[in-house]
């Protein structure tokens, strides 16, 4: 995440310098996102078939090579838009299986450690906190590198180095965490089996009320946050003659997220999930109302911080709920399906909100964004699937440890009381 943050600051500037086209960076981001979403459809098949620790390591190594190729290509033939697109798509495709594998590793590692009340909640919230810190630090470090050393493709070697460090970090993890549970053999050709496996995971995601609700709520929050960051805030502060406030607002959003996820980690096991969920949804509603009102720059800034602060616990709660609802045997495929929905969600809101801003004015677009967030919060608070968040579901899948660690010497035994942590899913809502 640190390396991707650095690249997010360096790469658009590099594309603009080499192509001279202000739309080129947007095209690269759009194509890369589309490639990631497409890969999300099938990445789960890899993660549910190949050792997840190995998938994570290989993905990080290949990601490092794809980024390191940029200065090499520049030295040999010079960078142009074709090179940016090809290497950008390769990098986007490589990272998705690695991301999915890493998300499946955390709960497996948690099962190998001491089992305590609220452990999974704390781990997920801690990862949210660290991720939010890196989301804030990465672009800042990228901008610092550009300021100190000047704009050069060689700066992207820093991103390659972080991917290498990530691979080395995964190497030292307990190998048992990456073991994939045995699967029931199905008849047919490999392609037919793959299609059947994907269909099973999508049916499971859609039919389970909790998973379906968590995915839809998270997707809408990702979409509105993306529109807030990429469309609404830049247009509002530019029109107000305060373009510097755009970056300040994004920093306030990230700072609020850091504080919210850290507080959730500290209070995990002492404050009910439902309480956090209700407070979070009400805070999201109030925060977006302040942002959408566009009453004054400082009100918008405060609203963004409130959105970040209250959205972080909601993300952590939804992550734990997803953990408890998904069997380990299909975890990769369900995560892949969810990643596809998350990556595609912003495309459904960005263009319509931009159209509203262009035709009816920026206040109307702000009101539409606030209305969408408010509707999501109200529906989520009323949804039956989210009413009992602190008790085990009667239809919850069985604990996974006996399957996930089958055949591995020294695997931690399953607990008889059914409180064994199951694999997790952190729901980060920053694009």
Q: What is the pLDDT of residues 139-159, one digit of tens each?
A: 888 888 888 888 889 999 999
Q: Where are the alpha helices (DSSP H) in 243-330?
A: 244-267, 273-293, 297-325
Cα separation, 154 vs 152, whole angstroms: 5
Which range scores top for mean pLDDT: 78-87, 124-133, 179-188, 273-282?
273-282
Given a cut of 50, is residue 404 above it in pLDDT?
A: no
CATH of the domain at 357: 1.20.1250.20
225 in the same domain as 117: no
Burial string for 223-253 (b: 16+ CB within 10 Å, else e) reads bbbbbbbbbbbbbbbeeeeeeebbeebbbbb
324 in the same domain as 202: yes
207 in the same domain as 118: no
Domain region containing 58: 1-176
139 in the same domain as 27: yes
Percent of the chain past pLDDT 70, that is, above it, reads: 89
Overall number of domains in the chain: 2
Residue 73 confidence (pLDDT): 93
What does pTM read for this prediction? 0.76
Residue 186 confidence (pLDDT): 63
Provide the 3-class DSSP secondary structure of residue 397: coil
Residue 218 confidence (pLDDT): 92
Any domain includes 343: yes
Any domain includes 381: yes
244 in the same domain as 282: yes
211 in the same domain as 160: no
Q: Of 252, 226, 228, whose CA–CA distance to 366 is shortest?
A: 228
CA 220-226-227 angle, 5° bins: 90
Residue 420 confidence (pLDDT): 31
Q: What is the pLDDT of residues 12-59, one digit of tens each?
A: 888 888 887 767 777 887 788 788 888 877 888 889 889 999 999 999
pLDDT, averaged across the chain: 82
211 in the same domain as 328: yes
The pLDDT confidence band at residue 425, using thresholds 50, 70 and 90, is very low
Provide the 3-class DSSP secondary structure of residue 268: strand
378 in the same domain as 235: yes
Quick one: which H or E segment has residue 170? Answer: helix 156-171
Any domain includes 84: yes
pLDDT, greater one: 104 or 408: 104
Average pLDDT over residues 385-400: 60
37 in the same domain as 101: yes
Residue 409 confidence (pLDDT): 29
Given a cut of 50, is residue 395 above it in pLDDT?
A: no
137 in the same domain as 249: no
142 in the same domain as 39: yes
Cα separation, 193 vs 277, whole angstroms: 39
Any domain includes 378: yes
Any domain includes 299: yes
Residue 402 confidence (pLDDT): 31
Sign of CA dihedral 288, 258, 25, 64: negative
**Up-side HSE of residue 338: CA atoms within 13 Å toward CB?**
31
375 in the same domain as 279: yes
Any domain includes 307: yes
Q: Which of 143, 176, 209 is the last residue of a domain?
A: 176
Cα separation, 73 vs 16, whole angstroms: 17
Any domain includes 184: no
Any domain includes 187: no
The pLDDT confidence band at residue 184, using thresholds 50, 70 and 90, is low
Q: Where are the alpha helices (DSSP H) in 208-243?
A: 209-227, 233-239
């Amino acid at each position: 995440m640190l390396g991707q943050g650095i690249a997010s600051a360096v790469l658009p500037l590099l594309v603009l310098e080499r192509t001279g086209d202000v739309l080129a960076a947007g095209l690269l981001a759009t194509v890369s996102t589309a490639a990631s979403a497409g890969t999300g459809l099938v990445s789960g098949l890899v993660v549910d078939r190949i050792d997840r620790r190995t998938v994570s390591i290989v993905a990080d190594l290949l990601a490092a090579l794809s980024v390191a190729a940029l200065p090499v290509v520049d030295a040999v033939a010079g960078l142009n838009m074709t090179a940016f697109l090809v290497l950008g798509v390769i990098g986007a495709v490589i990272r998705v299986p690695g991301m999915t594998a890493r998300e499946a590793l955390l709960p497996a590692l948690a099962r190998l450690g001491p089992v305590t009340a609220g452990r999974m909640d704390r781990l997920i919230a801690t990862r949210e906190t660290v991720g939010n810190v890196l989301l804030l630090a990465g672009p800042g470090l990228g901008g610092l590198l550009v300021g100190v050393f000047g704009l050069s493709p060689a700066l992207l070697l820093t991103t390659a180095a972080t991917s290498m460090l990530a691979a080395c970090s995964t190497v030292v993890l307990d190998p048992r965490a990456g073991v994939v549970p045995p699967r029931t053999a199905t008849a047919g050709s490999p392609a037919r089996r793959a299609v059947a496996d994907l269909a099973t995971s999508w049916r499971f995601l859609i039919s389970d009320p909790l998973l379906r609700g968590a995915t839809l709520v998270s997707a809408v929050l990702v979409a509105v946050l993306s529109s807030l960051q990429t469309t609404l805030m830049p247009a509002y502060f530019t029109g107000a003659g305060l373009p510097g406030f755009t970056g300040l607002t994004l920093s306030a959003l990230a700072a609020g997220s850091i504080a919210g996820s850290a507080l959730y980690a500290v209070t995990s096991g002492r404050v009910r999930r439902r309480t956090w969920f209700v407070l979070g949804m009400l805070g999201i509603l109030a925060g977006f109302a302040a942002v959408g009102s566009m009453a004054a720059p400082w009100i918008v800034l405060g609203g963004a911080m409130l959105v970040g602060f209250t959205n972080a616990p909601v993300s952590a709660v939804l992550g734990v709920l997803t953990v408890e609802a998904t069997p380990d045997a299909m975890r990769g495929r369900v995560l892949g399906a969810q990643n596809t929905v998350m990556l595609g969600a912003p495309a459904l809101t960005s263009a319509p909100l931009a159209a509203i801003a262009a035709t009816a004015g920026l206040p109307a677009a702000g009101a539409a964004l606030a209305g969408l967030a408010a509707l999501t919060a109200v529906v989520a608070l009323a949804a039956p699937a989210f009413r009992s968040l602190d008790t085990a579901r009667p239809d919850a899948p069985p604990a996974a440890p006996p399957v996930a660690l089958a055949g591995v010497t020294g695997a931690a035994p399953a607990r008889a009381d059914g409180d064994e942590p199951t694999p997790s899913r952190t729901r980060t809502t920053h694009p």
